[in-house]
Structure 1
Amino acid sequence: MYALLWLFDTVVQLFIYVLIASAVLSWLVAFNVVNVRNPIVSQIGEVLYRLTEPVLRPIRSILPNLGGIDLSPIVLVLLLLFVSRLLHEVIPPQTVVYGG
């Protein structure tokens, strides 16, 4: 069971990195630092969008419209960390007994 908890934590951590990368890329595109006509930038943006948008869309529909500020990635990161901590409290760490 502890191995599944470790796997869940690892997947959550990787998804948080993807969320951060998506937010940073959106800022770079918004401030014209990178050009979306570049095929590599376009492909990276498309992959990040397809990975994050299905999870962020329901959060965006709940949050109020704040103009140009999108708080949905922050809310999602907080929710993921909360669920991870909650699972750590529910599943106690195993004690390992060596040899006998």
Structure 2
Amino acid sequence: MLAGLINAIITLFTIAIFGRVILTFITPLSGARPHPVLVTINSFVFQITEPVLGPIRRSLPSFGGFDFSPMAVLIILILLRRVVDSVL
């Protein structure tokens, strides 16, 4: 039961990270005044993911403007899921 709950949280956070990556491409395409729903979704996803992505982004070296922190967090989540599945 605990493993199922942890896996559900990991899955939701993974979806939030993918959503954030997609929103980084969509938001600039919407122009100077994006739709209010898009702004709301973007700020919600940012608030959820930034506490984890921020410290990792600061610890990773700079790669010419590319942000690899979502990829690093996804790798950590995959490893965490494997640990949870094997232990619990």
TM-score normalized by the length of structure 2? 0.89
Choose between structure 1 and 2 for higher RCO, CA contacts under 8 A separated by at least 6 residues.
Answer: 2
Report 1:77-92 matches (<5 A). Answer: 77-91=74-88
Larger helix proportion, structure 1 or 2? 2
- Does residue 17 (structure 1) correspond to residue 41 (structure 2)? The answer is no
Of 44, 60, 76, 1:47 maps to: 44
Query: How many residues of Structure 1 are paired with residues of Structure 2 in the alignment?
Result: 87
Counterpart-to-counterpart distance in 1, 2:32 and 2:9 = 28
- Does residue 29 (structure 1) correspond to residue 31 (structure 2)? The answer is no
Residue 36 to residue 21, structure 1, CA distance change in 2 (3 Å): farther
Percent of matched pairs sharing the same residue: 30
State the structure with more CA Rg: 1
Quote the RMSD (CA, aligned, Å): 1.3
- Give the letter for the 1:10 counterpart: A
Moved runs in structure 1, 4+ residues, more than 3 A? none
> What's the counterpart of residue 71 of structure 1?
68
Counterpart-to-counterpart distance in 2, 1:60 and 1:36 = 26
Shift of 1:36: 6.2
